[in-house]
Structure 1
Amino acid sequence: MSLTSALNTAQSIFNNTGTQSSVASNNISNSSNSDYVRRQAMVTTSLNGAQVVKISRAQEDALMRQWLSASAGDSAQQTLLNGLSDLKSVLGGNDYETSPATYLSTFEQKLQAFRTSPSSAIAAQSAVTAAQDVANSLNSATKSVQLIRQNADKEIATQVDTLNTLLAQFKTANDAVKGATATGGNTADALDERDKLLKQISSIVGVKTADRANGDMALYTNDGTVVFDTIPRAVTFVSQDTYTTGTKGNGVYIDGVALTSGQGSTTTAKGSLQALLQIRDEVAPTFQAQLDEIAKSLVTTFSETDGTTTQPGLFVWKTSTGLDGDTPTTPDVINGIAGTITVNTAVITSQGGDPMKLRDGSITGLTNLNTDNASGFSDNLDALYAALGSAQTFSSDAGISSNVSVISYAQNSVGWLEQLRSDATTASENTSAALSRSTEAYSNETGVNLDEELTLLLDIEQSYKAATKILNAVNEMYQSLLDITG
């Protein structure tokens, strides 16, 4: 080997180790950055010696697609579970102590006590107070359910704005990737930024990727709607300021196509947007329908009739126009009745009423069943107690069985919610585990391993030392030649 060749070799080693150490140091500094993909300096050997030809990026497209799918599924499932947990809190949490079912059971007990002591003013007042608790629980639950829908609507608006911002940023990152690819530049940083944005997008709406020429990428929803293709497609949504039982939420549109809501406790939703739509438009309204069916049944059960005319008795309600409601006869759900149901003031002592009218069947004034004004009269209370425990037909639109008593129906409503939440909890554990496995698999292939990087730095150091020895040897030879010729 000539001295010139030796110098060239040493210079090549210095160049290579400089680049390699820079790449390794960059890897180490980003070891805790989950959005960073490991780089590696690729060295090849030719007649001119070893040299770094490019900086490669440990990209794993298949694992990335798997991670995006797992992320979208977990984001949707966790969002649904949070919504169901909010609904559970409406009923008082784990013991459901503020649920209509709980208050109805108490009312049944107080009514039973009243029918066994029909002359007791205390028993009469207790029964009326228990009825008021039932009505108040239905009113409160209705307000809370509509608030949950309203909050979901606001969150949808926030996420739509975020999604549009992310798509605009995705275009910038995608253009950077295309530009670097076209000019032969280093695309690693731009790809990291694009993947980072892609992860955030997938948590809001599930997307599939399509690779194009020059590093370009297009995004589609699972049903094929274009989300991004050269330019971001508009995601639009008009939020509602307030929600009542009759309010129908507006849809989310991507490139003019409506985004569907998720279905089921193990939700079909991909991304949080579809799950929020499911809570707002499917789960909460179904639960509200159950509340309305309970209220409708109570008004009907405790109505009074003279054989010709029937009017609401113990429980009364208001129509959507604010008028006093009649005794319901429709088999369908009456939207909002649970929010307006109250106890008739005719039996409320503090408002000039007489609770004994419940015993006598004279709340409406249509009739008085206790014509002799007997203190021991219990026929009407016996009939009401029996009716409270009798099977009734409820609307199938409310999602639970119909041929049961109103108390059983209220308990079934709690069971429906608890079963839905329990199944969603199990599903959320599964999606979390799937995401964890996907994250681990992706990280193992693309993440930075500090042990490997530190070992690589030791190898680079040895190469550097070897180059230094070559340079020292060449220097000594040159010095010897100079001494000889000097």
Structure 2
Amino acid sequence: MTTLNTSAAIASSSLSAIQVQLSVASANIANADTEGYTAKKASASSTSTAGVGTGVEVAAIVSKVSTLLISQLSSATSETAAAEKLANYLDQLQTAMGKTTSDDETGTSLGNKIAQVETALAALVNTPESTSLASEVVTQLEELTSAITSLSGTVQDLRENADSEIADAVDAANQLITKIDGLNTEIISAKARGASTADLEDQRNQALVQLSEFIEVQSYSGSDGSMKVYATSGQVLVGNSAHLLSFKEASSVTANDVRDGTSGLSAVTIDGVDITDRLSAGSIAALIDLRDDTLPGVQDMLDELSGNLISAFNAVQPGLLTGTDATNIGVSATFRDNPGSLLTDSTGTLSISQMAESFLSAAQGDRTFDAAGTLSTRTTDFASYATEILSSVVSDATAATSRLEVTRTELTTVTSTITSLYGVNVDEETATLSSLEQLYSMASQILAIIQDMFDDLMAAVQ
């Protein structure tokens, strides 16, 4: 009787262990395409009493993903997210800057606009008495100044979009920080109960990688199974509790708005500590760089071009161009309404022909005349400088695209390695499932035979 009891216990425990393994294999197959899921394994071991085998049990359901690979995945994700933002914004800026050539062979860049002003002025030099040619000059100047202010507006729109995206990214990051903190609590509790934490650890790893899209992080495992998460600036994001990021979105962004700590654009803080300038990767870092450095740098170049244009043209005809920089440069209403007054010399010292030539020299940027028609300074060739601005943006956009390709390759490599080592192989899991079903059938038959033997023994005793 004792032998039969022991045999029944062994068979019964085998059935229970196989049921768990079947459940794990089935879950692996069902979640093969679930992002962040890694293959689980039910680790079975034999049990014994006083050196005598008494059955088998599932010791744990595990999925041991390398913490080094998770760290590499997080880092690659941060780099790729930053590269994507930079490439996307610079591509939009490059498009707004226009092209040096177009279908009608005129081009749409500022350099082309300046060249068109020069062409109109060259025609006016040949026929300085022509009111229609003077009107064409004013028209081309209007198109040029309008293009500059429009481009300046686009730069500020992109800065405002970046500021808004920072706010969204901070909110998303805070949700993930809170999620990791909550998963820590669940994992600690599950470990205390002796329950499996494999699925919870998958969820936590996935949340960590998602968090790294927004801010570069480092993580460490605590002895209790919890995960400690830090920003690369050293600030704690997840410790014994969640430490959230703070950021205030601007209602609008203008060329004069800067991050000065007291007004204007907001910084990113953790527990009151400004970490904005310590962010090195992730979409938030890229957006900060775009908002505070890259795009303002383009604005500065546009302002310099506009200021020089205003000075050069107004030195020939005071009040022709209005404004002070790229945000407000324009053609005076006086000359828009009466283009013929363009060549009217208020000092009475220049002929119409001299006025026309002075304007052409001012437009070409190689000479600037004072009100008396005297060469005063040599300045930048405006068309060339405008082309240099475009070239700078194109170069940055090209570099950003190249960098994005590199980071995507690195991310794909790490992701493929993790999938290869820890992902679900459906063919293998299906084969395992088939084997387990056969084992389950055999264990059931053995248990049935033992039951028949119990019945026969009881009948014999009676």
**TM-score, normalised to structure 2's length?**
0.87
Q: 1:274 to 1:23 in 2, by over 3 A?
A: same
Alignment RMSD: 2.6
User: 2:24 aligns to what?
Assistant: 23
Quote the offset at 1:338 in angstroms.
Answer: 0.9
Letter paired with 1:251: A
User: 1:116 aligns to what?
Assistant: 126
Quote the offset at 1:95 in angstroms.
Answer: 5.6
Matched residue SS, 1:210: strand
Quote the offset at 1:478 in angstroms.
Answer: 4.8
Quick check: 2:14–2:55 contact (8 Å CA) kept in 1?
Answer: no
Correspondence 1:193-342 to 2 at 5 A: 193-248=203-258, 249-260=265-276, 269-304=280-315, 312-317=318-323, 337-342=325-330
Matched residue SS, 2:254: coil
Letter paired with 2:18: T
Letter paired with 1:277: I
Quick check: 2:111–2:386 contact (8 Å CA) kept in 1?
Answer: yes
Q: 1:408 to 1:93 in 2, by over 3 A?
A: closer
Render the CA deviation track for 1:289-341: whole Å, top value 9, x for unaligned: 11111111111111236xxxxx74432215xxxxxxxxxxxxxxxxxx11111
Quick check: 1:261–1:275 contact (8 Å CA) kept in 2?
Answer: no
Quick check: 2:99–2:109 contact (8 Å CA) kept in 1?
Answer: no
User: Which structure 1 residue ranges, 5 or more long, are not aligned?
Assistant: 263-267, 306-310, 319-336, 372-376, 394-401
Quote the offset at 1:86 in angstroms.
Answer: 2.0
Render the CA deviation track for 1:380-430: whole Å, top value 9, x for unaligned: 32233234334599xxxxxxxx98411111000000000000000000011
Quick check: 1:221–1:227 contact (8 Å CA) kept in 2?
Answer: yes
CA distance in 2, matches of 1:279, 1:285: 8
CA distance in 1, matches of 2:450, 2:190: 41
CA distance in 2, matches of 1:146, 1:126: 30
Letter paired with 1:260: T
Aligned length: 437
User: 1:87 aligns to what?
Assistant: 93
Render the CA deviation track for 1:56-91: whole Å, top value 9, x for unaligned: 123221111110000011011101111112212322
User: 2:397 aligns to what?
Assistant: 421
CA distance in 1, matches of 2:418, 2:426: 16
User: 1:153 aligns to what?
Assistant: 163
CA distance in 2, matches of 1:432, 1:405: 40
Render the CA deviation track for 1:76-132: whole Å, top value 9, x for unaligned: 110111111221232247968543222112111111121122222222111111011
Matched residue SS, 1:48: strand
Q: 1:432 to 1:13 in 2, by over 3 A?
A: same
Render the CA deviation track for 1:160-209: whole Å, top value 9, x for unaligned: 22222222222111111122223332212322232232122111111000
Quick check: 2:83–2:403 contact (8 Å CA) kept in 1?
Answer: yes
Quote the offset at 1:378 in angstroms.
Answer: 2.3
CA distance in 2, matches of 1:258, 1:69: 22
User: Which structure 2 residue ranges, 5 or more long, are not aligned?
Assistant: 48-52, 259-264, 369-377
CA distance in 2, matches of 1:368, 1:292: 32
User: 2:342 aligns to what?
Assistant: 358
Render the CA deviation track for 1:233-253: whole Å, top value 9, x for unaligned: 231112211121111122111
Quick check: 1:71–1:435 contact (8 Å CA) kept in 2?
Answer: yes
Identity in percent:
29
Letter paired with 1:41: A
User: 2:375 aligns to what?
Assistant: none
CA distance in 2, matches of 1:403, 1:68: 50
* Equivalent in 348, 361, 367 of residue 368 of structure 1: 348
User: 1:12 aligns to what?
Assistant: 13
Letter paired with 1:106: Q
User: 1:38 aligns to what?
Assistant: 39
